Amino acid sequence: MFKAVLRVFSYLYHLVLGLFLLVVGAIALFGSNLILEIDVLPWEDPTQTYVVLCGALIGLVSLFLAVRGKTRILFRLWTVVVFALLAYGYFIAPYSFKATDEFRSALLLTLGAFIAMLGGWTRARKTA
């Protein structure tokens, strides 16, 4: 039961993240004179826009395939990449928080990614 809850949390977390990144990337790509600046990511614009869009598509496709029971390894790798980018960007790279609330949000987002990563590595029981 606990593994199932973790797996559902993982699916929901990455669904929301993937949709958010898709919308943000599309707005940055198709909006006139918009520059995407996500300080936690190691890329600069315009590369960052394409990485965000491609990442969103890869995340959503891997999520869809994992939910359908196909190639779960792609979703597992996606969860690891998301957690690693967040942990590195917020806590290892020289990122400075401007307020306590920003630190708390980053901590919760990264903790959520960690829990979602654990949920992504759980296996559904095979029914006979």
pTM: predicted TM-score of the whole model, two decimal places: 0.86
Distance (Å, rounded) from C-alpha 46 to C-alpha 65?
29
- For residues 47-62, one letter each, b for 16 or more C-beta atoms within 10 angstroms of the residue's C-beta and e for the rest, the string is ebbebbbebbebbbeb
* % the chain with pLDDT above 70: 96
| Per-residue pLDDT tens digits for 6-62 | 989 999 999 999 999 999 988 888 887 777 788 788 888 778 888 999 999 999 999
| Per-residue pLDDT tens digits for 58-88 | 999 999 998 888 888 899 999 999 999 999 9
Token pair of 17 as six digits: 């993240």
pLDDT reading at 123 higher than 80: no
Q: How confident is the model at residue 128 (pLDDT cuts 50, 70, 90)?
A: very low
CA distances from 5 to 53, 55, 84, 113 (A): 28, 25, 22, 15
Of residues 37 and 105, more confidence is placed in 105
Q: In Å, how far from its chain's centre is CA 65?
A: 16
